[in-house]
């Protein structure tokens, strides 16, 4: 009879441990007789008393009871709700420490996942003021103990924490949401209840133009009618002259998805506008638009540098979205072709190209791995530079093979996930490319997320 291996720790054990690392989600990492414990709120080089909360075969989880020796990078989180809200994970780590953590996260992925031991990762490009950067807020509403509340979700739950302001949100977003919340509360509008699927108002969504100061408000309801709409349409623009659009989105489904399929403009324009560098973007209620435009410009400037354009190149943007990178590169490229699987995004991309009088860029709907080979075969389009900015799962295998087959001079890879970036860089290296540079950019201060832009050249 085989003897079952016992964990060196058990649930509810109290232990004194020393932390040597941070996990990708910002938890402190400690070893107990070779067994890994993850402890939220702890930092490397700290010693603390912890209580084990859950054990698995290879690792377990614990909660921080008392810090016995603190890291010199530990700071007091300025947000009073930080220990409850799930929006931020790193407010207890100095900003310099956050930037170093993100660089290390990328370097570890390159080495462990990609096997790219000779690739240097540059220091993370951060913000001068790493607060109030988010230009979009989607705030769920609810009723608790008879009171109307609106805020963000507690860590790992759908329990809403009522809040008046958020330190990483634009101050305009905060103020507009509070006013919309006040109107809804005064009018007695019933908040939506996820469990019973009853109620009316589901979310208050705001979007702000970082450069233009224009504001959009979207009220999301379960019902086709928005009660007391005249109050919203009168009082919101009266208090906030920056509001240029108020829309109503209808989502009757039993779902966690914020938006439904139908959106109506109730007041003002259908769109607001913002600029990233010299490029102007039209933003509709459901458009994808980067939530930190200041750092997006830093990211795109680096992508432009790594593309090494001189005005003659043909560029393919394989996950073009609404054309943000495509339009940026079109300023210095000969011709840019963008492909994206979402038809509405391509509509926005074409509108944005027209808005900026850029006639050297064209867009097509479809899967990049299907469209790009057809461009090559039927139209003779040969890319000098291919740029990709895929979702977290990384590039499709067929697209990676397409890039290897086309053999562009350079590939610029923008990524929001160091793990899939490292995996895909390895595949491209095996296909004949060489990774020259990896540059992390801090798009989301106070959180564990990190963006990267990388350059590969054909060997």
In the sheet that 410-415 helps form, which strands lie side by side, from edge to edge? Answer: 361-365, 335-340, 314-317, 385-388, 410-415, 451-458, 433-441
Written as one string, the DSSP assignment of 328-385 is HHHTTSSEEEEEES-HHHHHHHHHHHHHTT--SEEEEES-HHHHHHHHHHHH----SE
The verdict on whether 395 is a catalytic residue reads no
Radius of gyration (Cα) for the chain, nearest Å? 24
Contact 282, 271 (CB under 8 A): yes
> What six digits make up the tokens of 354?
């027209």
Query: What is the spatial distance between Cα 88 and Cα 235, in angstroms, rounded to a whole number?
Result: 32
Please report which helix (H) or strand (E) contains residue 268, including its range: strand 262-268
Query: What is the spatial distance between Cα 430 and Cα 420, in angstroms, rounded to a whole number?
Result: 16
Query: What is the spatial distance between Cα 156 and Cα 163, in angstroms, rounded to a whole number?
Result: 17
> What six digits make up the tokens of 67?
């810090």
Active-site annotation holder among 88, 395, 416, 452: 416
Written as one string, the DSSP assignment of 127-154 is -SS-SS-B-EEEEEEEEETTEEEEEEEB
Active site amino acids: 416
């Amino acid at each position: 009879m085989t003897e079952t291996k016992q964990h060196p720790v058990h649930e509810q054990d109290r232990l004194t441990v020393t932390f040597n690392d941070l996990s990708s989600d910002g938890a402190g990492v400690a070893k107990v007789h070779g067994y890994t414990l993850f402890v939220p709120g702890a930092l490397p080089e700290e010693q603390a008393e912890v209580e084990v909360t859950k054990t698995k075969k290879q690792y377990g989880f614990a909660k921080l009871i008392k810090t016995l020796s603190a890291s010199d990078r530990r700071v007091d989180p300025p947000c009073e709700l930080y220990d409850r809200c799930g929006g931020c994970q790193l407010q207890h780590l100095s900003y310099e420490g956050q930037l170093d953590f993100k660089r290390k996260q990328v370097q570890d992925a390159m080495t462990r996942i990609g096997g790219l031991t000779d690739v240097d990762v540059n220091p993370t490009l951060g913000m001068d003021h790493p607060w109030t950067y988010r230009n979009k807020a989607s705030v769920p509403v609810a009723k608790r103990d008879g009171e109307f509340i609106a805020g963000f979700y507690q860590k790992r739950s759908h329990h809403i924490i009522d809040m008046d302001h958020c330190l990483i949100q634009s101050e305009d977003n905060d103020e507009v949401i509070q006013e919309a919340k006040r109107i809804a509360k005064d009018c007695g509008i019933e908040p939506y209840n996820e469990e019973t699927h009853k109620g009316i108002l589901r979310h208050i969504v705001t979007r702000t133009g970082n450069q233009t100061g224009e504001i959009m408000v979207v009220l999301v309801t379960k019902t086709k009618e928005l009660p007391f709409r005249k109050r919203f349409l009168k009082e919101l623009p009266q208090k906030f002259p920056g509001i240029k659009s108020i829309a109503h989105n209808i989502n009757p489904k039993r779902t966690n998805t914020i938006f439904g399929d139908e959106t109506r403009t109730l007041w003002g324009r259908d769109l607001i506008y913002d600029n990233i560098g010299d490029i102007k973007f039209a933003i509709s209620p459901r458009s994808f638009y980067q939530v930190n435009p200041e750092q997006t410009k830093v990211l795109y400037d680096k992508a432009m540098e790594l593309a090494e354009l001189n005005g003659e190149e043909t560029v393919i943007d394989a996950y073009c979205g609404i054309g943000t990178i495509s339009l940026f590169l079109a300023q210095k490229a000969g011709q840019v072709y963008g492909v994206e699987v979402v038809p509405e995004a391509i509509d926005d991309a074409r509108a944005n190209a027209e808005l900026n009088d850029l006639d050297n860029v064209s867009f097509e709907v479809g899967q990049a791995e299907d469209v790009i080979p057809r461009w090559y075969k039927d139209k003779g389009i040969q890319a000098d530079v291919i740029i990709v900015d895929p979702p977290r799962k990384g590039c499709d295998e067929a697209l990676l093979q397409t890039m290897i087959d086309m053999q562009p001079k350079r590939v610029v890879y923008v990524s929001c996930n160091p793990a899939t970036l490292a995996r895909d860089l390895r595949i491209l290296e095996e296909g004949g490319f060489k990774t020259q540079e990896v540059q992390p950019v801090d798009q989301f201060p106070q959180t564990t997320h990190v963006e990267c832009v990388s350059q590969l050249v054909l060997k």
